[in-house]
Amino acid sequence: MSSLNPEGDPQHGDPQHDEEQRLRELGYRPVLARRMGGFGNFAISFSVISVLSGCMTLYGFGMGAGGPAVMLWGWAGVGLFVLCVGLALAEVTSAYPTSGALYYMADRLGGRRWGWYTGWLNLLGLLGAIAGIDYGAALFTGAFASIQWGFEPTPGRTMLIFLGILLLHALLNLFGVRLVSVLNSISVWWHLAGVAVIVGALVIVPDHHRSASFVFTKFVNDTGWSNPVYVAAIGLLLAQYTFSGYDASAHLSEETSNASVSAAHGIVRSIWVSWIAGFALLAGLTFAIQDYEGTRTSATGVPPAQILLDGLGTDGATALLLVVIIAQLFCGNAEVAAASRMVFAFSRDGALPGSALWRKVSTRTQTPVAAVWLAVVAAALLALPSLYSVTAYGAVTAINVIGITPAYAIPVFLRLRAGDRFQPGPWSLGRWSKPIGWIAVVWVACVTVLFCLPQSSPVTVDSMNYASVALAVVLILAGVWWYVARRSYGTPATAAYGSDRDQAELAEGIV
């Protein structure tokens, strides 16, 4: 990657090029506040990935879908492939630093329909992520209350906690991007310190630890499927679900200084730092398991909470659970920020029903207020089935993966197809662009198919993987809506702002 220049644009020779002017060149009038620095941009993606959210909430799933061996080796392998996806996506982000991010890239490189379907997939994934993250935080909050006060975390009570968390995140995001940036910067150190404290406590305090052979070779299959390869493949969901959301750096690029470089760095750094931290966390938890079956069927409903209870006692477990819950709250808040910017950008280009409302920006905070509310309400609706089905949460996490992961690969594929017609930005992979790009595309194609498959057998109404249904419904609705909104939808690259909607109309969306 010798052509990568972290300081500026080697081709244009302007390390302090004007991002506002660049945004105008891409066709948009700047209306969001550019108050986020490079560290803040990295922090939002790192906070969304959140190993203390993804690893912890799906740890119980991993215990039955392959067990320790798949969790540890799967994390290592998936992390490597995701890093390839992140590198390839960062290169395209550097060329097109807009809030629309993935769909705008696809539109510029492949045309309106590519942008349209990429946008709907991206939106589905982001909303599924909010639902998955905040519902996971609600589960952990219920477990904390159960240990501390004997609270019974019924589905109804968990749903109320979840709705309260969504409301908190909506309110925090309404204060503006500066607060979001500060919270995300705190979140980075909270996550790193939290992982260190949890792993350190689990190494030092318990009298008994599992052997390295158990941690790295023990295979457990409680899925009902007999094929171990299939089971191991399904078990990769834990890692792939956690390694998602790093497009947040791209979605916040219109609010980031030197975004053409900072957003690309934010994507890549968030992945490799999470890769290291997550492996340490998974290893620490697995070495400390005292009773495997007892942990899987924990009365708290959260296996990692049982590991902490068995290894550290009630006081230690409640203290560390609080660390995890706060980390998950940071994560959900960052995801709401990213999703609301996607809603804002997609509406700015006329893609959503009621776009004129969702693209409005507050003059006081320069925040897309209506887009924030739409994001949290949609996430609440996605999680409602968890009231009636114990498998619904797994479906929500899979919706996140199969919605957002293909959206990562589409701009990369189109960049590869464009060849020399693609003009790289200041951050480039150089000669590594094609091999890394093709690895990313093939990996995404494989995991998209994989996570549409049933996760448990026999397949019943309760155990079915509804992620594939959700994906099909969104694609069908997007296809139908295309014929309604195709005349109003368009990025500046398709001349929508030059003809049908003049840039002055965007100014009217500022309230």
Q: Over 70: is that where the pLDDT of 504 sits?
A: no
Residue 498 has pLDDT above 70, yes or no: no
| Burial class of residue 389 (count of CB atoms within 10 Å of its CB; 0-12, 13-18, 19+) | middle
Strands (E), 206-329: 220-221
Q: How far apart are the C-alpha atoms of 158 and 136, rounded to whole Å?
A: 10
Is residue 282 pLDDT above 80, yes or no?
yes
Hunting for tokens 């080796």 — which residue is that? 73
Higher pLDDT, 123 or 509: 123
Q: Are 127 and 158 in contact (CB under 8 A)?
A: no
Lowest mean pLDDT among 56-65, 175-184, 324-333, 465-474: 465-474
* Res. 390 pLDDT band, cuts 50 70 90: low
Report which of 33, 30, 14, 492 is spatially closest to residue 260, judged by C-alpha positions.
14
Whether 389 shows a pLDDT value over 80: the answer reads no
Confidence band of 21 (pLDDT split at 50, 70, 90):
confident
| DSSP string for 235-267 | HTHHHHHHS--TTHHHHTGGGBTTHHHHHHHHH
Rounded average pLDDT over 114-131: 90
As a whole number, the mean pLDDT across the chain is 87
pLDDT at 18: 74
Asked if residue 256 has pLDDT above 50, the reply is yes
pLDDT for 292:
95
Amino acid identity of 391? T
Phi-psi region of 101 (alpha: psi -120 to 50; beta: other; left: phi over 0): left
- Segment 48-95, tens digit of pLDDT: 899 998 899 889 999 999 999 999 999 999 999 999 999 999 999 999
**pLDDT value, residue 337:** 92
Nearest Cα residue to 489 out of 96, 104, 95: 104
What integer is the mean pLDDT of 14-20? 58
- Checking if the pLDDT of 333 tops 90, the result is yes
* The pLDDT of residue 227 is above 80: yes
Point out the least confidently predicted range of 3-12, 197-206, 281-290. 3-12
